[in-house]
Amino acid sequence: MNLRPEEISSIIRQQIDKYRAQIEMADVGTVIQVGDGIARVYGLEKCMAMELLEFPAPEGGEPTMGMALNLEEDNVGCVLLGPYTHIKEGDQVKRTGRIISVPVGDALLGRVVSPLGRPLDGKGPIVSDKFRPIERIAPGVMKRKPVHQPLQTGIKAIDAMIPIGRGQRELILGDRQTGKTAIAVDAIINQKGKDCLCVYVAVGQKNSTVANVVQKLEETGAMEYTIVVSATASDPAPLLYIAPFAGVAMAEEFMHQGKHVLIVYDDLSKQAAAYRELSLLLRRPPGREAYPGDVFNLHSRLLERACKLSDKEGAGSITALPIIETQAGDVSAYIPTNVISITDGQIYLEPDLFYAGQRPAVNVGLSVSRVGGAAQIKAMKQVAGSLRLDLAQFRELAAFAQFGSDLDKATLARLTRGQRMQELLKQKQYATMEVEDQVMVIFAGVRGFLDDLPVEKVLPFEAEFLKFMKASHPEIGKAIRESGEISKDTEQKLIAAIKEFKQTFVK
């Protein structure tokens, strides 16, 4: 084989011509300790809080990502957001230079995603070129305006007595299995056709529970305008901790476009427990009930991001329905009192009422809405003003009436009215009602048209009455819906219609 020198020299020249010097700079650290989903990394002096760090990949997989939480003098405390059994002491860790962020925008609507924005529903990748950091400072006082638009949940007991406005934060709390998620899901279903997008954040729920919620949302057509962020009980604690922040970052994108969003955090007590786990593993000093000192700040900086923006900022809003699970009805425990003090009111669900068949099991005495009254439509104020009073008086009298002493006529009338009104507020799950229907039904109750009915006939009366109104007098419901109030003329027509229907209704 003859090698000619000119051929060799031409090959060398070509190689020299193609040569380009490339310098890749990477800020690299070393794992000095790993375990329990926590890694301590040495050598990342310029690392930022909440920055994503890249750890080695398991065999045949993607690199495991971590999030910097503790920035100490000689090391960085990092929580791992994926499998970590393959990571060992001495492994290399790279900085990404990115604060942890999630994809946002219309591409997420109708999807079930992880707290990092990865699809979990098998419907293919999420194509979005917009990202938002999960941590963001809430809009300041001058960027907000008072709550003034109603957000209808479709649940009589709530829309009448504990109204919610767009931009409000209304806490739902109660023991396990008292219907907290049912109220939140009904509120999401009721937003259909009401120009309001929804985000449902499941924190620490069972996979089967989340699957049931998603299935119900799909059946009712609510999934079209909803994003489900799922961090289930089997996910690592860091994902449970960041899930609500990821959900509100997705909601903020729509709010800043001038849209209205309803976000449900189900539930924040599990997020607080996950944060406690991370803090204790990172050796942060424990406080009351072993929660870290900043657990109040954790929830306040999350819930403050729900607001009603001023017209100058686009007039969008985020309405938050955080859920907290109490233990044996203890509303004065650490996490419940924290969140009660941050929110604009609470809906308290009582186990005793739930087991007595009063569903939704709303305790009217302990539940309150601090700003929703300003957003309630006038028609509802006109009829529901006396409803709350009737129920409060009924509860007091019912306690005395148990002793069976002789009662005067006025007291008996109050008890009769209270029993019917309590029965009227019962509502099945997934059976939301339009606000004009609620107004007509409650009007019939507070004006005493149900007092002569047996209690068990109240709900059949409601169902038949609404069918009758839609068929024979649709103009009354239309007038209430369009004007938002009950005028003298509408009131007379409504009374006449109720009397007309009562003649045909079989007791």
User: Catalytic annotation on 370?
Assistant: yes
Grouping H, G, I as helix, E, B as strand and the rest as coil, residue 259 is coil
Q: Distance of CA 443 to CAs 57, 157, 160, Å?
A: 64, 14, 11
Half-sphere exposure for 312 (CA within 13 Å, toward CB): 6
Give the pair of three-digit tokens for residue 263.
């976000």
Which DSSP letter does residue 326 get? -
Report the 10 Å Cβ neighbour count for 194: 13
State the Cα–Cα distance between residues 374 and 148, nearest whole angstrom: 6
Alpha helices for 402-434 (secondary structure H): 409-424
How many whole angstroms separate alpha carbon 259 and alpha carbon 200? 17
Q: What is the DSSP string of 275-288?
A: HHHHHHHTTPPB-G
Q: Is the peptide bond before 5 cis (omega within 30 degrees of 0)?
A: no
Bridge partners of 362, per DSSP, are: 349
Catalytic residue among 136, 144, 301, 370: 370
Helix/strand/coil (H, E, C) string of 8-45?
Answer: HHHHHHHHHHHCCCCCCCCCEEEEEEEECCEEEEECCC
DSSP lists the bridge partners of residue 320 as 169, 263
Task: Catalogue the active-site residues.
Answer: 370
